Chain A
Amino acid sequence: MLSGWENYGTLFIASFTHLWIIVPAVVLGILVGAIPGFSAQNTLLILLPLTLVMDIDTSMAFMVSVYCASHMGAGIPAILINMPGTGGHAATCLDGFAMTKQGRSQEALAISAFASVAGGLFTTILAIAFLPLLSRMGLYLHSVDMVVIMVFGLCLIAMIATDDLVKGLIAGFFGLLMGVVGTDFIYGTPRATFGFIELYEGVPLVPALIGLLAISEAMVMFERETIALSSQEARQKVSGWTGTFEGIRQCIRQWWILAWTSFIGLLIGIVPGAGASIASFVAYAQARLFSADPQSFGRGSPAGLIAAESSNNGVTSGTLVPLLAIGVPGGTTAAVMAVVLQYNGILLGPRLFTDRPETAYGIFFSMLAAYIVMVFLVLPLARYVGTIVLIPTRVLVPLILSLTVVASLANRGYVFDIYVALVFGVIGYICRRTGYNVIAVLIGVLLGPLFEQYLLRSLRLGQGDLQILFSSSIGNTLWGLLALSLALQWWKGRKMRRVLRDGPAAKETINPY
């Protein structure tokens, strides 16, 4: 184990000796993250022959930099064209794209960059300081506890569907129904696949997200001249650095949301298999719950965007904890890192911290260095990248549609996935035009399979007895917190309705999602 600030300081300084590889890795990570459908995992697999021949510390510095930067890069298309490249960035679209439509793309990009960096830095420091404790926390969470965490995420359906609860719930259940497609988690029997082997693993997530959000949005965009509702106003907002500074100001002002939601990301990231999808929605729901202005969520709320982005980057630190502490990768990218570590003869697990503390902690210090590099590389870009909102939709929409084809295909390489994206695009468009909540469908598709997996596993452990769901003390505490959250939500809604009824200026009631 590392002890003493001197050792930490030495490792921190040593991580900057890898700056020559961290800088290009960050640039690469942002690029692959910004191309929907590509991911850090795919990139690291392609570059595996290169990383295998590098010195292990350099190799890990390269991989964690690509990993962190790709998480940040994936926020860019989600904000600018409503196209999430991964499940973890679906929540980014909710307020990120709403801000873009208001001409605040520069501010949104600055928030994304700052919240990602700050969330990543905060959770990395936490991971370094409390690594042994955090690794045990991953082991404390059981399947029944994860069921409650999933319910936290699913409750967002009810939260965002307050304008038309019935339609919102129908949309949510439709999404859950879509999430059931594929082989079941216990016996591996195909369900509702209609003979398509491409559906055996379930509805492919990236094409479904791209269809529901990006393609349906592109169809709607045809009806406007530019993405921004007022191109004149947008032109003023993207010129100069005002948006960037406003984004940074918003993040600093709402520092506690940033810290709290990145911590949620860290905790969920520690649990193998959970990942950024659930973390970002749980974090978003939490930010909305404690917000003084929950009605602004989905309408371009900086707090909503901060929650989604900081939790995403909290997950990146979290997934590495079980990998190093018990030798179990917390996610697919961590699994690729495990290959490289093992190839270099590094034994993962508790002994890593006594045998090679410089490698174990060095990985997190490299992550720290990568985040610092990102501040200087990404923030200045917000001003220029944000001008995309001024491109006429007659040019932008065909570009977006072409990108959706590439993005759908890139993840698994199946042509079938392009059709999935198109089908979900039509579903999304119909939802938008008929007042059904697209995000509720999306949450169902995204979290439904995870919820089913943990629920069936818990019920199997309890041999069918529902009491198993209330058998864990952590789970019971979480159930209590969930009940409190829902009660708080109900109370705030009631208060808000009273204000709206009594006040002269009622807020806009159009469903923002």
Chain B
Amino acid sequence: MPDEAAFMNRRGFFKIAGSFVAASAIGGAAGQGIAANYPSRTFDVIVPTREGGGADGLSRAFINSWKDKIGQNFERQFSPGAAGQVGYELYFKQREMDGSNLLFGNVSAEMIMYALQKPDFRFPEDIYYFCGIDTDPCGIWVSGESPFTSVEEVVETAMKRPVSVAVSRLPHPGTIGLLALAEATGAQFNIVPYGGGNPQVVAVLNGEAECGGGGTAGYIEGARILGVFDREEFVLAETRGDVPLINEVFGTDIPSLYSTRSWAVHRSWADANPDDYKVLQDTSAAVFDDPRFKEEIVQSGVTPWDGVRFRDQSTCMALAQSMVELATKYGDQLTAG
């Protein structure tokens, strides 16, 4: 009996081991099948700004539609600091390049940060911006009680004495617009960064700064937009009214300057997994046709709907590249040295 039992045990062992190997093989194949069925897990998103701001509201509205189209949920982590550098460094240093880690950033402002601070990641080698969502044209605006009634008056005054202009932060396309305008007209702008949109608005409303420079999408009751840095049109004309184009007023050739919030992913993963990357691109582009997305944007008022427009990878990457070049050009005025 002991021998038989031992024999049976050996047979039993081989049976069990065989079954286990077979099960593992089947399970493995199944597992590979799941992995190929991208996306296989919840997306982790780094947002390099604070909660409660425009990026928060915009990404929330977008995700609410996108999650149904792509079949996975999204978890956002807000990592603000150093004009977005904290979030980007975290994304490139501490997140796996597996297509499940995304970044939701402000292409223009953060590429200026990239050009000025020279962080550890490389553009365009390390990142693809693949879905731009909104357009926030940069311009010059004043409070309702300001003595300035036109952008000509602002520049005329600035040619005689420095005019103080509040900006949310120096590395911003709005600042570049002001520097370019000053260069072209000889105007003197005393550009003061306020470390965020809210204190900037307060500074303009309370008269501490004579003008505000930067995004024009955020609605401020009583404020007047005097001019925008755009070569072709003011995209928010429907909601914000007609505003002169600064290039037309002064005959300058300043590039169109605007902020665009965009989704981004590790480039190495996208290049190695073109089919999966296409899933990301196609499903994100489809969100713009979803009436629920429009409804949520309109209801929340996070940005005017006429500023919401899809920008594909090539447009986003071109915008990013142009921002890097402009920031490099005005680098001395945007940094301490």
Which residues of A are interface residues toward B (Cβ below 8 A)?
A: 41, 45, 138-143, 183-190, 197-198, 200-201, 272-273, 322, 326-329, 332, 335-336, 338-339, 342-345, 347, 349-351, 413, 453, 457, 460-461, 463
Contacts and interface: CB of A to CB of B under 8 A. Distances in A.
A43 to B, nearest CB: 12
A188 B199 contact: no
A197 B205 contact: no
Interface string B128-143: 0000000000000000
Nearest to B94: A197
Interface in B185-208: 190, 192-196, 198-199, 201-203, 205-206, 208
7 pairs of A and B residues whose beta carbons are closest in the complex: A335-B52, A201-B81, A349-B221, A139-B206, A200-B82, A183-B82, A197-B89
Contacts of A343: 57, 299-300
Contacts of B77: 413
Given A188-B113, A188-B169, A200 B86 contact: yes
B244 interface: no
B110 to A, nearest CB: 11
Nearest to B208: A142
B170 interface: yes
Contacts of B190: 460-461, 463
Nearest to A197: B89
A336 B220 contact: no
A216 to B, nearest CB: 27
Interface in B281-302: 299-302
Contacts of A335: 50-53, 198
15 contacts: A142-B206, A183-B81, A185-B195, A186-B193, A197-B81, A201-B82, A273-B198, A322-B202, A326-B221, A327-B220, A332-B52, A335-B50, A336-B52, A339-B52, A339-B57
B57 A272 contact: no
A187 B198 contact: no
Chain B interface size, as a band, is: 35 or more
A271 to B, nearest CB: 8
A328 B201 contact: yes
B171 A188 contact: yes
A322 B170 CA distance: 25
A143 B164 CA distance: 14
A304 to B, nearest CB: 31
B198 A272 contact: yes
A140 B206 contact: yes
A187 B334 contact: yes
Nearest to B76: A45
Contact of B170 (A186, A190, A338): A186
Given A201-B86, A332-B52, A453 B206 contact: no
Contacts of A344: 299
Nearest to B171: A188
Given A142-B206, A336-B51, A349-B221, 5 more contacts: A143-B208, A187-B334, A273-B195, A351-B221, A460-B193
B268 interface: no
Most buried by A among B201, B202, B299, B301: B202
B82 A188 contact: yes
Nearest to A188: B83
A138 B51 contact: no
B216 to A, nearest CB: 15
A198 B202 CA distance: 29
Contacts of A350: 221-222
Contacts of A41: 51
A393 to B, nearest CB: 38
A183 B299 CA distance: 36
A349 B193 CA distance: 24
Contacts of B170: 186-188
A187 B195 CA distance: 10
Contacts of B90: 197
Nearest to B84: A188
Given A188-B171, A342-B302, A139 B205 contact: yes
A342 B304 CA distance: 13
Nearest to A328: B198
Interface in B131-179: 162, 164, 169-171
A195 B195 CA distance: 22
B314 interface: no
A461 B192 contact: yes
A45 B53 CA distance: 12
A9 to B, nearest CB: 30
B95 to A, nearest CB: 13
Contacts of A460: 190, 192-193
B208 A461 contact: yes
Nearest to B112: A188
Contact of B117 (A139, A185, A189): A189
B208 A197 contact: no
Given A185-B195, A345-B301, A138 B85 contact: no
B78 to A, nearest CB: 9
A200 B52 contact: no
A186 B335 CA distance: 9
Most buried by A among B57, B198, B222: B198
A460 B189 CA distance: 12
B336 interface: yes
B264 interface: no
Contacts of B85: 183, 188, 197, 200
Contacts of B302: 342
Contacts of A461: 164, 190, 192, 208-209
Given A187-B170, A461-B208, A327 B221 contact: yes
B225 to A, nearest CB: 16
